[in-house]
Structures are given as C-alpha cells and as structure tokens.
Structure 1
Amino acid sequence: MKRMFLRASTWSLCLLLATACKNAPLNMNGGNYKTMEVSRGSRTLSQSYTAVINGRQSVEIRPQVSGTITQVCIAEGAQVKKGQTLVIIDQVPYKAALETAIANVKSAEASVATARLTADSKEQLFKENVVSAFDLQTARNSLLQAEATLAQAKAEEVNARNDLSYTEVRSPVDGVSGMLPYRVGALVDASITTPLTTVSDDTEMYVYFSMTESQVLSLIRQYKTLDEAMKQMPEVELKLSDGLTYAHKGRIDAISGTIDTSTGAVSLRATFPNPEHILRNGGSGTVVLPYIKENVLIVPQEATYEIQDKIFVYKVVDGKATSSQVSVFPINDGKEYIIESGLEEGETIIAEGAGLVQEGTVVGTPTADNAPAN
C-alpha cells in the first residue's frame, strides 16, 4: 500500500513538472546569457590633462638705472595700461646729469662756431698768400675736432635723457601687475634678482598641457596631420582648481614639434578668452579634450574580457560562444568601448558576464516553431 502511494506521488510530480515546462515563458537569450546585436552610434568622450595657466604675455619689470625708489604708483594686482608709470626712481642725479649734458652740448656748439670762423678766415688768408697751407689745414682739423666733440656731447645728452626717462619705470604691455616686493626707499638697479613686479597680459590666457607620444600619434592618424588636427579638433574646456568648469571654451592652437626625451611627452597650448579676468598667470587647472566619434561600433564593457592587455568578446556563432579579439579606441567612459576592429555591424555577442563564459558554451536561441509572433 505504501509503495503504491509513492508511485502515485511520483506520477503526480512528473505531471506537474510537465505542465510547468509547457507553460514556462520562452527564454530568448538561451542558456541564461544575455545577447545583443552589435550596432553603430555616436559618442562624445573626453580626456583630462593637468595644465598650467600663463598670461599671453608675462613681462618681468626691472629697472634700467640704479637709485632709490621715491614713489610706487600702482597697487599690487592692479590693472595697468601700456606706458603707465609703475615705479619712480630718484630723479635728482639724473636731472643734474641731463643739465650737464645740455651745457656740454652748448659749449661744444660754441667751439664749433669758433673753429668754423677760424677755418674760414684761414681759407681767405691762404688765398691771399698770407698763411701757409699748413696753417689752413690745422684750422680745418680744429673744426673737425670741434664737430666731433659736439657729436659726442649730443650723444651724451641723449643718454642722459634716456636715463632720466628710465627713472619712471613704465609697463610695456596692458595687463595685471603682480606683487611689489620693493617699497619706497629701497635701492634697486638693473642687476636685481627679484623684479620690481610682473605684468601679465590676461586678455587671453595660454594654457599648457602635455600628451603622450601615442596620444599625439592617435591625433595624427585621426586628422592626417597636426595642422589639420588643430583646425578640426573641437573646443576644449578648462576645469579650475576649485573643481568648477571655466565659463569660456578654448582652442588648441599650438603643438610642440619635438618630444621631451626625459618624459616622452609632447607639449600643447590652448588659448582661452579671459574677459572677466578670472584666470591668473601661474594658475593651474585641467584641460578637458573632447573626442567626437560618429557612426562607430559600440559595445558595453561588461560584454568584454581581458587577457594580457588584450580585449576579447564572445560572438554567438551557430549557437555557441566563440571568442574574438577586438581593438578599441584608447579613450572610454568606463561603461562602453568603441570598437575599431574585430567586430562587424549586425553580429551577435554575449552582452553580460563575458568573463564567466567558456569557449564553445551553448547559447540557445529560439527555434522557428517556438519563436513569438511579431
């Protein structure tokens, strides 16, 4: 009796399992592996590079004459114009030197006038045979010497005027001044190691960063030449040291023609407008370079696996997983890869857990009889 009850229970269980299998929904992915068809799309990727910010023109201001500072005419960090006086050096000795030079010029002019009168007189007397040719030539030589002395005096006057003008240290460019390490009464000269100040032209800012040699080669392959790369590359963004993105975009307008042998890096320069004067000379930031990729094959990274720095996917071929090596664009967003070779549009691959799949694993697909109606 007990054996008959067990047989009946067994038959009942089998009947229930058969009914459950008949009513179970169709697994479209077969073998519990999610698959996908490789398709094309467009993506904008980005790469960040540490950068240094410099003014378009940064000039160290140094005195051209020696003396004590009598007046500081600007505040530290002030906006200055080209030709604006920044610092005044004691002018008294230079004014005196100029007055002396002017007096020397007048004295030399008088000597020239006297020598010319003498030469003209000797010329007339020579014609009348009153003086010898030697006396005439001596008078002419005296005139030449007086004229040379006058020229020298005039040159010294020019130098004296220049020295006096140099006592007013002026800005050679428009820009923003740096700090002023010297105060009134400080003795300065042309050989000081620390400049009076630095004036940086900040209407536009140069942002310098570096790429590896391989990254530059990638640009060349993409745009054919570096000149074309600079023309066609999209605008770049700048993240400031506080983590915020700068309001204006810039363009890469210079790429070094040489590679730094010590680092293997290539220097690039991006130019950014600076109308609000937010960017400062000597600042730092991060250049964000976008890469616009259109009509490319895209797969999720979870559909790939790596072996010895090589990337593979599993294609579904005749219902089985078949590994295939692919090459990918070197920049990614951490979620997807852009496939450059190894896959074709329309091919089916395992979309998730590729690292857990084995070569030849059966990946079931619905049969024609069981496929759902459209």
Structure 2
Amino acid sequence: MKKRYFISALLLSIGLLSCKKETTQTAPLAMPYKVIEIEKSNSTLLAEYPASLEGITDIDIRAKVDGYIEKIYVREGQEVKKGQLLFKLETQTATQEAGAAKAKVAAAQVEVSRLKPLVERNIISDVQLETAKANLASAKSTYQSILAKINYATIKSPVNGIVGTLPLRLGSYVSSQTEEPLTRISDVSTIYAYFSVNEKQQLDIMMNAEGKTFQQKINNMPAVNLILSNGMEYEQKGKIETFSGQANSQTGSFNVRASIPNATKLLRSGGSGTIQIPTYLKDVIVIPQNATLEMQDKRIALVVDKQNKVKAVPIKVRAVSGGEFFVVDSGLNTNDKILIEGVGIVTEGTAIIPELVNYASIITPAKK
C-alpha cells in the first residue's frame, strides 16, 4: 500500500513539473525595441509643385517679306546680342525693283524741275506742276517701300538671348505667312517658373505669409527652391512674384510665377522642374516617417503604454523637408513614447522592453 501511494505521488509531481515547463515554453518573451519620447521642435514643411520654365522673353523670329533664305548667321543654342544678324533673305529681285523705282523718282524730279519756271512765267497752270509733284511723291514712296523690303530681308535679333531651333535651311522659301518661325530668341538671364496651386494650397500659403495686404504677403514670402528634372536642387533660390487674380474656372487652380536668377544660362526655356515652397513651423511634433504605418488610408504610429505594450494610434501628418520626417498635426502628444524599431513587425498588444533613444539625435535633420 505504501508503495502504491509513493508511485502516485511521484507521478503527480512529474505531471506538475511537466505542465509548468510547458507553460514556461509557450509564454512569449518581451523583446527589446528602440523608442523615442515625443518632444516639440521647429521644422520646415516643403510643398512641391510641378513647374514649366520660360525665359523673360521668348520671341518668335519671322520673315516680314517673301524670299529665299540666303544666309544663316547663327547656330542653335548660340548666345546673341540685340541687333545681331540672324538671317538674310535673297534680295536680287527687290534690288532690281529698287533700281527701277529710283529711276522713276529721278524722272519725276526732272519733270517737276521743268514745270516750275513755266508756272512762274504763267505759261502753264500750276495744276500741271501739282500733278508732277504728286507723281514725284508717289515715286519716292514706292522707292522707300522697296528699300524697306530690302532692309526687312536682313533679320536681326530684337533682344539679347539664346537662339532656339533652326527648322529651316538655306534656300527655304519663307514669307510673313509661313507658319513655322525661323527660330525663337529666348532671354534667359532670368527664368520664370510657372506652376498651379489649388484653392486650399493658395490659402495655406498666404495665411502662413507675413503682411497685411495680399501683395505684402507675396513680398514677404520665403525664397523657393527649384528641383531640376534630374533631381538636383538648383543653386540659386527663386522668388514668388505673382498669383493670378482669380481661379481657373475649369480647374479651380491659381497660376503662380516665380523668378529665378540664371546668370550661368544653365536653365533654358521649355524646361521643367519642381518648385518647393517652404513653410517654417515652431513648436511642432516631428517624427520619422519610418516610425509610421499606412493602413487603409490611415497613418498609424505605435505608442508604448505604461505597461510597455504596443498600441496602434491613428495620426494626421504633413511631410517635412527632405522626405524623411512627418509633422504630426494630431494623434500624438508630448511625452508619448513611440516605436521607431520593428514597425511593421511588432503587433498591437505586444509587450516589449523599450530602449529609449535620445529624441534630438533622431529628429535633428528635420530641425531648422
């Protein structure tokens, strides 16, 4: 009997130990993850807008008279000065016409000179003299018109600028009705960047600008950045100069123009880029973008509560300069601890061992 009790007690002890061991093995262990404690700081928001680039002036060069292109004095992309020769049209026919017209002027002048003394001696009436004078004026007008035509055949640049494409070649026939221009001269000493903003964006921009009147706000707006089509930031800052007076009735957007210095002539008309408008913010919550998740059109941050458990919290954010940070408009408060490691891996309700990382060391690149 004693032996039987001993065996039963032994089996019960083994069973309890086995259950305890199994429970220990299945309980999840808390893992260490890095967290930051939210503080407020200063930052800069960058709003980006696709822009088209144009010179101060882009002038189509067209022929004023009919003729064949006899000479081309410039090449595509060449920098030219105001008054510099661009093209010369064939003037042989016009030159012959000018010779004939000049001869008619001389003949008309002779006739006037012949009739003057006859009128003075009352041999003939002054009607004949007046008719001769009218013929002389007509001959001179015709001659001057032909000379102007010859002058128009020599085409000069109306401004300082850069020569555009040259679609026509030597021998091409052109006239004032030719659809395609001979070329285009672009003054690119300053480049205009044109872009559009919607009504909400326009209000956000102007309400954050200093000044009482609309024009004062434009004058006080910060310098803007131009991101080139290759992704590089242009070395010179731009300045917003104008907003359109009213929204486009079809798109609801406002047209905006920014001017950008272009002394090196790197920027050319017809180019494209992206305008960045900065907004400087004080005492805002900034967090790394990679400390958030996007779930069902919502932005989520993982907050660590007092029991060191992870909780998913919806937040509203705006992008910060550089694309690595968010400004949090709602959802987080100072002193909240959020996960910055294991985001996307750690699930809600998981207990962790928080490893506190200095907030400033993480957010410093976003501060301005």
Q: 1:175 aligns with which of 137, 142, 161?
A: 161
Q: Which residue of the partner structure matches residue 145 of structure 2?
A: 159
Q: Which residue of the partner structure matches residue 83 of structure 2?
A: 83
- What one-letter code is carried by the residue in structure 1 that aligns with 2:266? I
Query: 1:29-87 deviations in whole A, cap 9, x for unaligned?
Result: xxx9x998875421112122111111211111111111111111112221111111111
- How many angstroms does 1:285 deviate by? 1.5
- How many angstroms does 1:266 deviate by? 1.6
Cα pair 1:115 1:142 within 8 Å, conserved: yes
Structure 2: how far apart are the matches of 1:163 and 1:171? 17
CA RMSD of aligned residues (A): 4.4
SS of 1:69 mapped into structure 2 = strand
Structure 2: how far apart are the matches of 1:194 and 1:302? 53
SS of 1:192 mapped into structure 2 = coil
Q: Which residue of the partner structure matches residue 19 of structure 1?
A: none
Q: 1:247 aligns with which of 226, 235, 244?
A: 235
TM-score normalised over the length of structure 1: 0.69
Cα pair 1:35 1:349 within 8 Å, conserved: no
- What one-letter code is carried by the residue in structure 2 that aligns with 1:102? K
Cα pair 1:45 1:333 within 8 Å, conserved: no
Q: 2:132 aligns with which of 138, 146, 153?
A: 146
Q: Which residue of the partner structure matches residue 193 of structure 1?
A: 179
User: Unpaired segments of 5 or more residues in structure 1?
Assistant: 11-31, 126-134, 359-374
Identity of aligned residues (%): 32
- What one-letter code is carried by the residue in structure 2 that aligns with 1:242? N
Q: 2:275 aligns with which of 275, 278, 287?
A: 287
SS of 1:60 mapped into structure 2 = strand
SS of 1:282 mapped into structure 2 = coil
Q: 1:342 to 1:148 in 2, by over 3 A?
A: farther
Q: Which residue of the partner structure matches residue 47 of structure 2?
A: 47
- How many angstroms does 1:298 deviate by? 4.9
Query: 1:102-154 deviations in whole A, cap 9, x for unaligned?
Result: 333333333333343333222xx8xxxxxxxxx7xxx2333333333333233
Q: 1:196 to 1:106 in 2, by over 3 A?
A: same
- How many angstroms does 1:164 deviate by? 0.5
Q: 1:275 to 1:332 in 2, by over 3 A?
A: closer
Structure with larger Rg = 1
Cα pair 1:249 1:272 within 8 Å, conserved: yes
Q: Which residue of the partner structure matches residue 220 of structure 1?
A: 206
Establish whether residue 266 from structure 1 lines up as the match of residue 276 from structure 2: no
Structure 1: how far apart are the matches of 2:93 and 2:323? 70
Cα pair 2:319 2:325 within 8 Å, conserved: no
Q: 1:177 to 1:86 in 2, by over 3 A?
A: same
User: Unpaired segments of 5 or more residues in structure 2?
Assistant: 1-5, 17-31, 308-312, 350-368
Q: Which residue of the partner structure matches residue 65 of structure 2?
A: 65
Cα pair 2:39 2:335 within 8 Å, conserved: no
SS of 1:219 mapped into structure 2 = helix
Query: 1:283-316 deviations in whole A, cap 9, x for unaligned?
Result: 111222222223445567799999998999999x
